[in-house]
Amino acid sequence: MHARLPIGAGLGFRRELLPELEAGVPEAVQFFELAPENWAGMGGRSARQLHAFTERYPFVCHGLSLSVGGQRPLDTDLLLRTRDFMATHGIGLYTEHLSWSSDDGQLYDLLPLPCTGEAVRWAAARIRQAQDLLGCRIGIENASRYVTPPGAEMDEASFIRAVVEEADCLLHLDVNNILVNARNFGFDPFDFLHALPLTRTCYIHVAGHHVEDDGLLIDTHGAPVIDPVWDLLAEAYRHTGPVPTCLERDFGFPPLAELAEEVARIARLQAAGAAR
């Protein structure tokens, strides 16, 4: 199948949403995102359901477990399965997190890298290896974090910029992650946004989060998007233009019509950004 790139506003492709999506995809949804780890190699009914959508809509692969900053060798089998899966379904974009998530096995968490020159070179080399195996440039996402690794030689935005430039990859911008980190660590989210290599942005995430009783923000993707995140998204479009943007929702699913309203809000902000 010919590879297709996403356009406009999209939604995470979740099994919990399939009954409503099969009844009718909202007009605002122009593409879908999935985790290849959860779908590659699936057969039977799940494969038929997925094909019914990939034949009609562009999809994005957003990886969860490559661990581009980890110490173990890259999972080349996963990358090759992902490459074949993308070819089968005509998927033209793959993104992953700038983090590490494995040691002896998967840790099921996205842990931050130290902001050092050595970590820049290490992560960039692994990203280049992944790009060589996939046969395309990939987008690397700024991740949420809850600790700051010691020994920093640069700030986080400079670290992300250095990795993206060293790897010659693309930026997957997550505006909710910026706000979560900014509130938890006390920095200005707009300053952080402006310090990123926004001209390399290929893809954007927007999502909701949870606020603990003590004020700590947790990046859950289980709540509606709040106004400060929408404001960051609007500001991002001032610099990136209307880059394809996905609404993430991983649990606590409301009716599809409510999610479609958030997707439509993305589309309105994209249109306003394009007009500017």
Q: Which residue, among 131, 142, 119, has the nearest Cα to 71 in the 3D structure?
A: 119
User: Residue 77: is its pLDDT beyond 80?
Assistant: yes
Q: Are 94 and 65 in contact (CB under 8 A)?
A: no
Supply φ then ψ for residue 45, to 5 degrees: -60, -40
**In this structure, is residue 4 part of a structural domain?**
no
**In this structure, is residue 1 part of a structural domain?**
no
**Residue with token string 């250095």:** 162
Structural domain count, the chain: 1
Cα 114 from chain centre: 21
For range 64-91, the mean pLDDT:
95
> In terms of residue numbers, what domain contains 191?
9-275
Distances (CA, A) of 224 to 54, 148, 227, 249: 26, 27, 10, 8
pLDDT single digits (tens) 2-54: 889 999 999 999 999 999 999 999 999 999 999 999 998 878 888 999 999 99
Contacts of 19 (CB under 8 A, 6+ apart): none
- Judge residue 153's burial from the number of C-beta atoms within 10 Å of its C-beta, 0-12 exposed, 13-18 middle, 19 or more buried: middle
Q: For residue 183, give the CATH number of its domain.
A: 3.20.20.150
Q: Are 256 and 218 in contact (CB under 8 A)?
A: no
Q: Are 156 and 123 in contact (CB under 8 A)?
A: no
Q: 203 forms bridges with which residues in the sheet?
A: 172
Q: Are 160 and 112 in contact (CB under 8 A)?
A: no
Distances (CA, A) of 196 to 153, 158, 190, 200, 227: 17, 7, 10, 9, 21
pLDDT single digits (tens) 173-213: 999 999 999 999 999 999 999 999 999 999 999 999 999 99
Rounded (10°) angle between helices 76-89 and 117-134: 50
Does the reported pTM lie above 0.85? yes
pLDDT single digits (tens) 100-159: 874 554 545 688 999 999 999 999 999 999 999 999 999 999 999 999 999 999 999 999
**In this structure, is residue 3 part of a structural domain?**
no
